[in-house]
Amino acid sequence: MLDRLPLPERNFVADALRAETVGGVLLLLAAVAALIWSNTLHHSYEAVSDFHFGPAALGLHLSVEHWTADGLLAVFFFVAGIELKRELVAGELRTPAAAALPVVAALCGMAVPAVVYTVVSGAAGGSLKGWAVPTATDIAFALAVLAVIGTALPAALRAFLLTLAVVDDLFAILIIAIFFSSSLHIAPLLGSLAGLVAFWLLLRAGVRGWYVYVPLAVVIWALMSNSGVHATIAGVAMGLMLRCTTREGERRSPGEHIEHLVRPLSAGLAVPLFALFSAGVVVSAGSLRDVFDRPETLGVVLGLVVGKTLGVFGGTWLAARFTRAELNADLSWPDVLAVSTLAGIGFTVSLLIGELAFSDDPRLADEAKAAVLVGSLTAALLAGILLKLRNDRYRALTDDEERDEDGDGIPDIYERDKPAYHLRMAEILEAKAAEHRRLARLGRDAGDSDGT
């Protein structure tokens, strides 16, 4: 199984891992596996999670859980950095008018959950350290739910969610860097910054070769990890440095090429392993009851389910109402409500922020993880219902637009003002009516011959 795959199989696996649906499913399976493992063989789960390895002399003698949160998750943020850069230079964020609506929605979608958490937890005398836990949206999970359910939804809805999630990720990264970095160590921080400058200069000089950039990236990450700044910041910084615009003779930009290569590693290994060693909380009737009893955990759940929905939907409405920004003509407000609910799936980044926020209280950190799981699952279920209703609506509209009852290869909706169409339909319906009359006569004659 560990041998090299044949080329067709390797390409198939890599392409599958690039699909949001597959990445989201792997993420979900890893979280379920973590819950089963931690609740059936808790001691072995703790033993593996706490197992330390790595060079102590370099400050990298870390636990498995730490390696996945600081190391592998840096790959995820590297890909997120490339996505953000592409949106800034070639996507929805390149023009202020197009970016205004999702940007305002993302900012309100982070501010309102933080307020909800602060009010709920503060009013009951709980800790305010977890204010940032419900502010994040999980791109992979949210897009996977949208891809599975929204088969007939307009493409503009996915673009809105992607832009919203990318902006959300940017500010989540800033929150981690500003509020959840430990005491700074100047020497490794300066070394990491020097490495980033070297990384940028090599890119500007057009130097190619993974054997140059991968070792340099590892050094940058290790120095950042030892500096006190969360190591995932190194990943997003390098992602933002890649060029995401094409030049003459290029089919795709270097950023798109690197993202195409790295995304399977992120979706197939980095994020699932992080979920495996972060989502393992002991679940019982008592622990689930505690999620709704403790002010901190209740604040997380309400922040994700209620705060995200109110923030994203309210921010979008306010921007459309009081600025020049306009909602895409292909979307309606019920679509925005469904996506606003979907944004309450925090998962990956929320789990990470929960660990950082309650690092001095392991029990509360575990309860915060349980709250993230409950809140994300609740948001996913509610969003799934709303998206299914909208999908059925758009499916009916699509079927109506594609209906070709006269069989001339042109959808009927484009011919309803043409007399020739109605004449053809009259012939078709008359032929059907004649056939039904013939079948009725046959049925009547058969009944008469039977004496009935």
CA 143 to the chain's CA centroid: 5
- pLDDT of the residue at 1: 34
- pLDDT of the residue at 12: 46
pLDDT by position in tens, the chain (length 452): 334 545 554 554 455 445 556 777 788 888 889 889 988 988 999 999 999 999 888 888 889 988 988 888 889 889 888 887 887 787 766 777 667 788 889 899 999 999 999 999 999 999 999 999 999 887 767 877 887 787 778 877 877 887 787 778 778 878 887 888 766 788 998 999 999 999 999 999 988 888 999 999 999 999 998 888 878 888 888 998 999 888 888 888 888 889 888 888 888 888 889 888 887 877 777 777 778 889 999 999 999 999 999 999 999 999 888 888 788 788 899 999 999 999 999 887 888 888 888 988 888 888 888 899 899 999 999 999 999 999 888 888 777 667 777 777 787 777 778 888 888 888 888 888 888 888 888 878 776 666 55
- pLDDT of the residue at 449: 66
Strand 52-53 relative to strand 62-63, pairing:
antiparallel
Instruction: Note the helical H segments in 248-361.
Output: 254-265, 271-278, 285-293, 295-302, 308-322, 333-342, 347-357
Domain at 7-181+230-401: CATH code: 1.20.1530.10
Q: Do 162 and 98 meet the contact criterion of CB atoms below 8 Å apart?
A: no
Length, in residues, of the chain: 452
Please name the residues in contact with 228: beta carbons below 8 A apart, sequence gap of 6 or more. Answer: 181, 182, 183, 184, 185, 189
Please name the residues in contact with 40: beta carbons below 8 A apart, sequence gap of 6 or more. Answer: none
- pLDDT of the residue at 20: 59
- pLDDT of the residue at 417: 80
Q: Do 348 and 271 meet the contact criterion of CB atoms below 8 Å apart?
A: yes
| Residue 63 parent element (H or E) | strand 62-63
Q: Do 133 and 357 meet the contact criterion of CB atoms below 8 Å apart?
A: yes
Please name the residues in contact with 436: beta carbons below 8 A apart, sequence gap of 6 or more. Answer: none
Q: How far apart are CA 293 and CA 191, in angstroms?
A: 46
**Boundaries of every domain in the chain:** 7-181+230-401, 412-449
The tokens describing 329, both together, are: 């003509």
- pLDDT of the residue at 168: 83
Whether the predicted model's global pTM rises above the 0.85 cut: no
